[in-house]
Amino acid sequence: QSVLTQPPSASETPGQRVTISCSGSSSNIGSNTVNWYQQLPGTAPKLLIYTNNQRPSGVPDRFSGSKSGTSASLAISGLQSEDEADYYCGAWDDSLNGWVFGGGTKLTVL
Amino acid sequence: EVQLVESGGGLVQPGGSLRLSCAASGFTFSSYSMHWVRQAPGKGLEYVSAISNNGGSTYYAKSVKGRFTISRDNSKNTLYLQMGSLRAEDMAVYYCARGRQTVTTRYFDLWGRGTLVTVSS
């Protein structure tokens, strides 16, 4: 049981837009920044979005993040087949005094 | 090239020990906190342990506290995770990750490819 809650799966057709949610509490998302990691099949996680909505160099602007209260969202527009991956949200938790992750969302591009 | 390369994984019996290493290159290792994150087969990410840039502070998840020890050798640009009293539930791919932290934010900006730890008799 993960501290942050994500839908286990999402799907959309190429070219469309998909949103993945991440729900937490006042001790994690509510008081700290949220990050998103992309894990392509058989590979290590990679930083996709940091500090709620910042993209590292090299990440296309099709990927965007937002946060409101104790929830966060990752949006991917202009979906491409190579976006098929698992996506994880993560945040620091002040109560646990440690990092917490969501259970991951498996994105399928139909 | 900026990278992290883990090693030391393998098959170990329940109750056994194993030491993982993570070799860093391409950046000033001693300037960053370092972390271990694991992923059980078919499961999500689980935070395991952290160490500050100078090794003065450490953190452990409840699930491994008292059994795992994190350390680093800044002269060798290497991070370690000494694992003991291993259990079946410790079986996972172990990733090392570089931490970034400011007053207002923190995240992992670089990950290694991982090393697989299998706990089985």
For the cut 90, the answer to whether the pLDDT of residue B88 exceeds it is yes
Chain B CA closest to residue A48: B109
Measure the CA–CA gap between B7 and B17, rounded to whole angstroms.
15
Task: Let me know: does B37 contact B64? Beta carbons within 8 Å.
Answer: no
What's the mean pLDDT in B105-111?
A: 94
The pLDDT-based confidence of B91 (bands split at 50, 70, 90) is very high
Measure the CA–CA gap between B93 and A42, rounded to whole angstroms.
11
Do the chains contact at B107 and A100, CB–CB below 8 Å?
A: no
Per-chain mean pLDDT for chain B: 96
Measure the CA–CA gap between B1 and A36, rounded to whole angstroms.
24
Measure the CA–CA gap between B16 and B113, rounded to whole angstroms.
24
How would you label A40-66 residue by residue, b for 16+ Cβ within 10 Å and e otherwise? Answer: eeeebbbbbbbbbbebeeebeeebbbe
Chain B nearest CA to A51, separation (Å): 6
Closest CB from A32, A56, A104 relative to B109: A56
Task: Let me know: does A20 contact A10? Beta carbons within 8 Å.
Answer: yes
Give the number of residues written for chain A: 110
Measure the CA–CA gap between B13 and B70, rounded to whole angstroms.
21
Taking the alpha carbons of A11, A84, B22, B10 in that order, is the dihedral positive or negative? Answer: positive
Determine what percent of chain A is predicted with pLDDT higher than 90. Answer: 97
Q: Which pair of tokens denotes residue B97? A: 């990750």
For the cut 90, the answer to whether the pLDDT of residue B103 exceeds it is no
Do the chains contact at B44 and A46, CB–CB below 8 Å?
A: no
Task: Let me know: does B103 contact A32? Beta carbons within 8 Å.
Answer: no
**Which regions of chain A are under pLDDT 70?**
none
For the cut 90, the answer to whether the pLDDT of residue B16 exceeds it is yes
What's the mean pLDDT in B90-99?
A: 98
What's the mean pLDDT in B1-24?
A: 97
What number of other Cβ atoms are within 10 A of residue B3's Cβ?
13
Residues B24-50 have pLDDT tens digits of: 999 999 999 999 999 999 999 999 999
What's the mean pLDDT in B55-84?
A: 97
What's the mean pLDDT in B90-118?
A: 95
Task: Let me know: does B105 contact A54? Beta carbons within 8 Å.
Answer: no
Closest CB from B45, B47, B105 relative to A33: B105
Closest CA to A87 of A32, A22, A16: A22
Identify the helix (H) or strand (E) that includes residue B30. none
- Strand A71-76 relative to strand A18-23, pairing: antiparallel
